[in-house]
């Protein structure tokens, strides 16, 4: 079900890379000794503000490992999802290790040097709901999705993930309700159909929320969702540096340790 790593890597070289302004980001990081990474701070367990009012999570620790392996300091910025995916970063940050899935629209304004984990999109409903058992049951339902997420595009039946198999859309007339994901789950907790009939989320994120509040259940996986490091368009040298660093962290088991810590399993393995 999941996209072969080799096939996607080859795709990245042809579809996601650009050569203009080559070296500008790499030069800036090298000269300043600082890696600035954009992150989403309301997406546990990948990025969130912990009880000590500090940014924490899987993505935060991966970014820390990348900076350490590069021999630079890390700064984390949380500028907002729509700002990140809009591209044209203009040096405000250098990478987005922020659980982003490539799609055809994002690839127009961002580069995607390398994947770093895989976790499928899933459909979550209230535990008391026995109406919804599959994606086909989404027709005429109110479904919560993150603002600007691939989940919203999925419900619009326009989602294409380069390098992945075509996605099935066995539903009609779904009322997608974009919001902050925390708000979506709060609304779903009110009961089946009260404000929402379901929420689409990442498997690891859904499992984390169910562990904290067991009023939800996962009814089905919807599609494979590879997550890549994103960079601003134009610096092939920087993209190679990022890809090589992620590879070294995967090869020596660092990514696996981070994944086990936050998720209890390794979602960073290369897919055969």
pLDDT given at position 14: 40
Lowest-pLDDT range of 18-32, 56-70, 84-98, 114-128: 18-32
Closest listed residue to residue 64, CA positions, set 51, 47, 89, 82: 47
pLDDT given at position 11: 43
Closest listed residue to residue 8, CA positions, set 221, 270, 234: 270
The model's pLDDT over 170-214, given as tens digits with 9 standing for 90+, comes to 999 999 999 988 899 999 999 999 999 999 999 988 998 898 889
The model's pLDDT over 154-163, given as tens digits with 9 standing for 90+, comes to 999 999 988 7
Share of the chain above pLDDT 90, in %: 78
Pairing of strands 175-179, 142-146: parallel
pLDDT tier for residue 8 given thresholds of 50, 70 and 90: very low
Q: Quick check: 15 pLDDT over 50?
A: no
Identify whether 164 is preceded by a cis peptide bond (ω within 30 of 0). Answer: no
Average pLDDT of the residues in 258-271? 88
pLDDT given at position 20: 40
Half-sphere exposure of 203 (CA within 13 A, CB side): 19
pLDDT given at position 22: 52
The model's pLDDT over 133-152, given as tens digits with 9 standing for 90+, comes to 999 999 999 999 998 899 99
Q: Quick check: 5 pLDDT over 90?
A: no
pLDDT given at position 165: 84
The model's pLDDT over 216-264, given as tens digits with 9 standing for 90+, comes to 999 999 998 899 999 999 999 999 999 999 999 999 999 999 999 999 8
CA atoms of 222 and 125, how far apart (whole Å): 13
CA atoms of 26 and 22, how far apart (whole Å): 8
Mean pLDDT for the chain overall = 90
Q: Quick check: 105 pLDDT over 70?
A: yes
Whole-prediction pTM value? Answer: 0.79
Can you say whether residue 114 is alpha, beta or left, with left for phi > 0 and alpha for psi between -120 and 50 degrees?
A: beta
Name all domains of the chain by residue range, CATH numbers in brackets.
Answer: 24-118+227-263 (3.40.190.10), 119-225 (3.40.190.10)
């Amino acid at each position: 079900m999941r996209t072969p790593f080799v096939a996607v890597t080859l795709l990245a070289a042809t579809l996601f890379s650009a050569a203009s302004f080559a070296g500008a980001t790499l030069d800036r990081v090298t000269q300043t000794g600082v890696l600035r990474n954009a992150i989403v701070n309301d997406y546990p367990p990948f990025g969130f503000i912990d009880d000590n009012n500090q940014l924490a999570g899987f993505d935060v620790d991966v970014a820390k490992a990348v900076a350490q392996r590069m021999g630079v300091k890390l700064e984390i910025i949380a500028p907002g999802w729509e700002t990140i995916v809009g591209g044209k970063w203009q040096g405000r940050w250098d990478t987005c290790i922020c659980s982003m899935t490539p799609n055809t629209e994002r690839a127009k304004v961002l580069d995607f040097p390398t994947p770093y984990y895989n976790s499928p999109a899933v459909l979550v409903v209230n535990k008391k709901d026995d109406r919804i058992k599959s994606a086909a049951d989404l027709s005429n339902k109110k479904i919560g999705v993150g603002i600007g997420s691939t989940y919203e595009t999925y419900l619009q039946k326009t989602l294409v993930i380069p390098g992945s198999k075509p996605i099935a859309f066995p539903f009609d007339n779904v009322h997608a309700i974009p919001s902050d994901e925390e708000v979506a789950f709060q609304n779903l907790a009110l009961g089946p159909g009260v404000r929402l009939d379901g929420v689409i989320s990442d498997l690891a994120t859904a499992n984390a929320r169910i562990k904290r509040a067991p009023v939800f259940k996962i009814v089905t996986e919807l599609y494979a969702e590879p997550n890549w490091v994103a960079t601003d368009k134009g610096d092939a040298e920087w993209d190679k540096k990022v890809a090589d660093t992620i590879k070294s962290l995967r090869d020596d088991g660092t990514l696996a340790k981070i994944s086990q810590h936050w998720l209890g399993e390794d979602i960073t393995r290369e897919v055969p």
